A and B are shown apart, each in its own frame.
Chain A
Amino acid sequence: MSTASNETLDRWERQEYEHGFVTDIDADSLPPGLSEDVVRLISAKKNEPEFMLEWRLKAYRHFLTMTEPKWPNVDYPPINYQDIIYYSAPKKAGDGPKSLDEVDPKLIETYNKLGIPLAEQAILAGVAVDAVFDSVSVATTFKEKLSELGIIFCPFSEAVHNHPDLIKKYLGSIVPYSDNYFATLNSAVFSDGSFVFIPKGVRCPMELSTYFRINAKNTGQFERTLIIAEQGASVSYLEGCTAPMRDENQLHAAVVELVALDDAKIKYSTIQNWYPGDKDGVGGIYNFVTKRGKCQGRNSHISWTQVETGSAITWKYPSCILLGDNSVGEFYSVAMTNHRQQADTGTKMIHIGKNTKSTVISKGISAGFGQNTYRGMIKINKGAENARNFTQCDSMLLGDKCGAHTFPYIEVKNSTAQMEHEATTSKIGEDQMFYCNQRGISTEDAVSMIVNGFCKQVFRELPMEFAVEAQKLLEVSLEGSVG
């Protein structure tokens, strides 16, 4: 690469986090630390029924018996779980806002800075935003419209009160409280999250979306999302997030559970742009997430799409359990690491039912000192006749100090199964660059063009509003990375 392009590169690599600002709102926080009392207090603060408290305590007691897993291909200093504040909610005037006017104007300002269309924009964009600001949901739009159709889209804490039967039935049915270290921690102390229920035969008329944002200093955010699509229902759910800049690493351990019954379809899209730490890897979010969907019914369909550009460490494997016959699981991912970011991400596709199909497309981009790992498991069980899997994971290296790693696990126990796995690692070719340059395209533009082309297969899967944002996000976070 020429000197000129190296300069652009440097400039891009120096690019700092755009969304770094802290909103000054009084937070109603607990002192840092984790104990049985804290778990009880969180439950009490949220006025939870007895069964929730019991579930949390079960998780907490199990958590005490577990040790932190060390197998992922990431490096971070030990986390002191007693230094984390486990609950923080923005102070509310009275009983909570009933309309947008009642929402703290500073909060609205924050959203505006982030360009989130919460108020009128929301209607224009046709998006119902259940915005999670730190831990408590402060505004929910389009609720009436959705409830006419019987769709429940509300904060988790509300669902616990209003729909305890559904919560009892489905909470922990996909990710049990004993699943893994971080899921267990989440089960014990989860603050809030979203709950979506689409009744039989209903197609959700709009994209459901929620923005998670970590705000109060030192608050680990532990949200929990549960989406249930009944027979024949379909829903597309978007999750996007940005976080303010800060120096201490913040732990984020979320759990997402999806249940798709017969003929149901769930599409779950994520844009993750949390604070990745500065150039030297100081600060940044630890994003340790458990996401799992279960295609429980026949012909059900779960699709995960993710664009991961933020966080100091990303560690997550959105998975599908393909239990119902003819069910389909999909995973589309773009993971981008710059500076000192590390990502260990991928998916698990577990084929149990007959004629189940799964597709995995993963694109990893590493720049600066970034380390990007794809880790994926394809498991085809004995009864999964005619199961079919296609996996493609491509890595692109921008710069000579970054790394790209691929660790697929393929287990096949059925002879009628067909599975293919392909992986490639490459860099932007000098000839590609030269071609663009001689056509008058600047190196910077050419890089972003090529990278966007590289990710196109995934972006195509994103809902319209997100696709634009994703493209922009990628440009910002990778700017200047070809070496």
Chain B
Amino acid sequence: MLATTQETNAYDTHHNALTGDGVRGNPDWLCSIRKAAFARFNELGFPTTRHEEWQYTNVAPIAREQFRIGVAGIVPTADELSTFSLEEDCAARLVFIDGRFSTVHSAVASLPDGVTVCSLAEAIVTDGSPVASFLAKHATYEDQAFTALNTALLEDGAFVHVRKGTVLERPIHLLYWSTAPEELAASLPRNLIVAEESSQLTVVETYAGANGSSYFTNTVTELIAQDNAVVDHYKINREGDRAQHIGHLQVHQTRDSNVTAHAMTFGGSLVRNDIGTVLDGEGGECTFNGLYMLKGSQHVDNHLLVDHAKPRCDSREIFKGILDDSSRGVFTGRIIVRKDAQKTDGKQTNQNLLLSDDAKADSKPQLEIFADDVKCTHGATIGQVDSDAMFYLQSRGLCKEAARNLLVYAFASDCVSRVRIDSLRSQIETLLFDRLLEGQRPGEAT
């Protein structure tokens, strides 16, 4: 293990400051969670490529640096942030600068009854808040060093709570901006989304930051979908070009709940998305949808775990990667079907398109099945743009790059078209096109 006491010093200091006596926002229940998580983190240390779960992703750049918490750079103007926000009318927009809630940038319209949207820090100190009964219950940190670190240092983030039977039609947008100061900064947002029985809601998380200097984002979102709840979750990664981003979305679903989670990754230099769900009630459905479009030397690792704990649940995973230059895309998908989870239907697909000779793709689609009456399939493909299709399009008069762009777009559109918020979809399409046009090399024009 890489972690030594010296390397965790910065985190140590911050952890001690958070859990000190008489510190505001440190109720007893939270203090014990923070302490237990920190103890676990120190035991685990940062993972290395010797770990099966981290085989293809080397986090040494994160482990060896001294990232500091609470250092800030230039606060962005509203204009700068507007390119990342949704044009759509959002029910609420919370902006977090370096992991801390920023009242100035945020806007919360009048919310319907039964909906609470506020910062987690505020929710923790509010009397009678339901936070204590949900926080850190599902994103377990026993084996996950980064989740343990986030839990140990959790302070702020978003808290979304929708009460029984409430339907929130407009999306909630959460924007996390990293200012990327000269010193190495770390931010550790922690989000908690609770959709009670028969409620419905849409949450968009956008992670973005300034280019030019290295920073570390370690985010954890817990999403609890109770019986019959319907939740759409989007995570758009548009981090700065030198960002290290480790994210964990942990979903817990009970009877007949329906969760769709999208992970769209465009930014960051080293990105890891851990996405997991426990289907802990009959009739649950989950769909994980992902797209990663990489260039330069970006490294993106999507790590999915679907745990079918109860019978009659459906899960769908489709992740697509477009890899250019010397980027590397890693996919690990694991479906576990527990002993009595009969009538499970699980599907998992990972497709990768390699656009350059130096791009790399690694795929580990895994099935672990302990029940017999199940339908589970997985598939993985890695290839290049189909030369027959290229020829066809060129024979119809399209130039080479237009033909290629069209095919790449068609490859991605499967994932993009599943985005149900119009403005978000067009935002993603714009990102896609920009990336395609950037990717054209002058030599290819002929």
A residues apposed to B, CB below 8 Å: 71, 380, 382, 395, 397-427, 483
Q: Please tell me if the beta carbons of B379 and A422 are within 8 angstroms of each other in the complex.
A: yes
Q: Please tell me if the beta carbons of A412 and B354 are within 8 angstroms of each other in the complex.
A: yes
Nearest residue in A to B371 (C-beta to C-beta)? A400
Flag whether B439 is at the interface (Cβ < 8 A): no
Whether A415 touches B372, Cβ cut-off 8 Å, given contacts A421-B365, A423-B377, A425-B377, is no
Chain A residues contacting B416 (CB-CB under 8 Å) are none
Nearest residue in B to A420 (C-beta to C-beta)? B381
CB A441 to nearest CB in B, in angstroms, measures 22
Nearest residue in B to A367 (C-beta to C-beta)? B372
| Bound-complex Cα distance A28 to B355 (A) | 63
Chain B residues contacting A405 (CB-CB under 8 Å) are 366-369
Contacts of B338-391 to chain A: CB distance below 8 A: 339, 342, 352, 354-357, 359-384
Q: Please tell me if the beta carbons of B373 and A417 are within 8 angstroms of each other in the complex.
A: no
- Count B-side interface residues using an 8 Å CB cutoff: 35
When A and B form their complex, which 3 residue pairs have the shortest distance between CB atoms, in order from nearest? A415-B354, A397-B372, A410-B363
Whether A427 touches B354, Cβ cut-off 8 Å, given contacts A410-B382, A416-B384, A418-B382, is no
Whether A406 touches B342, Cβ cut-off 8 Å, given contacts A419-B381, A426-B375, is no
Nearest residue in A to B367 (C-beta to C-beta)? A406
Question: Secondary structure of the A side of the interface?
Answer: strand
Of A399, A411, A414, A424, the contact of B357 (CB 8 Å cutoff)? A414
| Bound-complex Cα distance A481 to B359 (A) | 46
Chain A residues contacting B80 (CB-CB under 8 Å) are none
Nearest residue in B to A427 (C-beta to C-beta)? B372
Nearest residue in A to B334 (C-beta to C-beta)? A407
Q: Please tell me if the beta carbons of A400 and B372 are within 8 angstroms of each other in the complex.
A: yes
A-B contact pairs, 20 of them (CB 8 A): A382-B357, A395-B369, A398-B372, A400-B372, A400-B373, A405-B366, A405-B369, A406-B365, A406-B368, A406-B378, A409-B364, A410-B362, A412-B352, A415-B355, A417-B383, A419-B380, A421-B379, A422-B379, A425-B375, A427-B373
Q: Please tell me if the beta carbons of A425 and B364 are within 8 angstroms of each other in the complex.
A: no
Nearest residue in A to B56 (C-beta to C-beta)? A411
Q: Please tell me if the beta carbons of A411 and B378 are within 8 angstroms of each other in the complex.
A: no
| Bound-complex Cα distance A427 to B342 (A) | 11
Nearest residue in B to A379 (C-beta to C-beta)? B362
Whether A424 touches B371, Cβ cut-off 8 Å, given contacts A415-B384, A418-B384, is no
Q: Please tell me if the beta carbons of A413 and B360 are within 8 angstroms of each other in the complex.
A: yes
Q: Please tell me if the beta carbons of B380 and A408 are within 8 angstroms of each other in the complex.
A: yes
Chain A residues contacting B370 (CB-CB under 8 Å) are 402-403
Known: A412-B352, A426-B375. 11 other contacts (CB 8 A): A400-B342, A400-B372, A401-B339, A403-B369, A410-B364, A413-B360, A415-B354, A422-B379, A423-B367, A424-B376, A424-B377
Chain A residues contacting B380 (CB-CB under 8 Å) are 408, 410, 419-421
| Bound-complex Cα distance A401 to B52 (A) | 27
Nearest residue in A to B324 (C-beta to C-beta)? A415
| Bound-complex Cα distance A412 to B361 (A) | 5
Q: Please tell me if the beta carbons of B360 and A412 are within 8 angstroms of each other in the complex.
A: yes
Nearest residue in B to A411 (C-beta to C-beta)? B362
Q: Please tell me if the beta carbons of A411 and B372 are within 8 angstroms of each other in the complex.
A: no
Chain B residues contacting A415 (CB-CB under 8 Å) are 354-357, 359, 384
Nearest residue in B to A396 (C-beta to C-beta)? B372
Chain A residues contacting B357 (CB-CB under 8 Å) are 382, 414-416
Chain B residues contacting A416 (CB-CB under 8 Å) are 357, 384
CB A431 to nearest CB in B, in angstroms, measures 13
Nearest residue in A to B342 (C-beta to C-beta)? A400
Chain A residues contacting B355 (CB-CB under 8 Å) are 415
CB A236 to nearest CB in B, in angstroms, measures 32
Chain B residues contacting A402 (CB-CB under 8 Å) are 370, 372
| Bound-complex Cα distance A162 to B66 (A) | 64
| Bound-complex Cα distance A76 to B378 (A) | 29
Chain A residues contacting B56 (CB-CB under 8 Å) are 411
CB B170 to nearest CB in A, in angstroms, measures 40
| Bound-complex Cα distance A403 to B376 (A) | 13
Chain B residues contacting A413 (CB-CB under 8 Å) are 360
Q: Please tell me if the beta carbons of A412 and B376 are within 8 angstroms of each other in the complex.
A: no
| Bound-complex Cα distance A416 to B366 (A) | 25
| Bound-complex Cα distance A427 to B344 (A) | 12
Q: Please tell me if the beta carbons of A412 and B382 are within 8 angstroms of each other in the complex.
A: yes
Nearest residue in A to B369 (C-beta to C-beta)? A404
Chain B residues contacting A382 (CB-CB under 8 Å) are 357
Q: Please tell me if the beta carbons of A399 and B372 are within 8 angstroms of each other in the complex.
A: yes
CB A210 to nearest CB in B, in angstroms, measures 35
Nearest residue in B to A400 (C-beta to C-beta)? B372
CB B274 to nearest CB in A, in angstroms, measures 18
Q: Please tell me if the beta carbons of B52 and A71 are within 8 angstroms of each other in the complex.
A: yes
Chain A residues contacting B378 (CB-CB under 8 Å) are 406, 421-423
CB A359 to nearest CB in B, in angstroms, measures 15
Chain B residues contacting A406 (CB-CB under 8 Å) are 365-368, 378
CB A230 to nearest CB in B, in angstroms, measures 35
Nearest residue in B to A423 (C-beta to C-beta)? B378
Nearest residue in A to B355 (C-beta to C-beta)? A415
| Bound-complex Cα distance A354 to B355 (A) | 19
CB B231 to nearest CB in A, in angstroms, measures 28
| Bound-complex Cα distance A401 to B378 (A) | 22
Nearest residue in B to A482 (C-beta to C-beta)? B372
| Bound-complex Cα distance A439 to B180 (A) | 73
Q: Please tell me if the beta carbons of A422 and B377 are within 8 angstroms of each other in the complex.
A: yes
CB A169 to nearest CB in B, in angstroms, measures 35
Chain A residues contacting B364 (CB-CB under 8 Å) are 407-410
Chain A residues contacting B377 (CB-CB under 8 Å) are 422-425
Of B360, B366, B369, the contact of A411 (CB 8 Å cutoff)? B360
Nearest residue in A to B366 (C-beta to C-beta)? A407
| Bound-complex Cα distance A221 to B376 (A) | 38
Whether A425 touches B381, Cβ cut-off 8 Å, given contacts A406-B366, A407-B366, A412-B352, is no
CB B162 to nearest CB in A, in angstroms, measures 36
CB B400 to nearest CB in A, in angstroms, measures 16
Nearest residue in B to A429 (C-beta to C-beta)? B373
Chain A residues contacting B376 (CB-CB under 8 Å) are 424-425
Kindly name the residue among A380, A395, A406, A418 whose own CB sees the greatest number of chain B CB atoms within 10 A.
A406
Kindly name the residue among A415, A424, A483 whose own CB sees the greatest number of chain B CB atoms within 10 A.
A415
Chain A residues contacting B339 (CB-CB under 8 Å) are 400-401
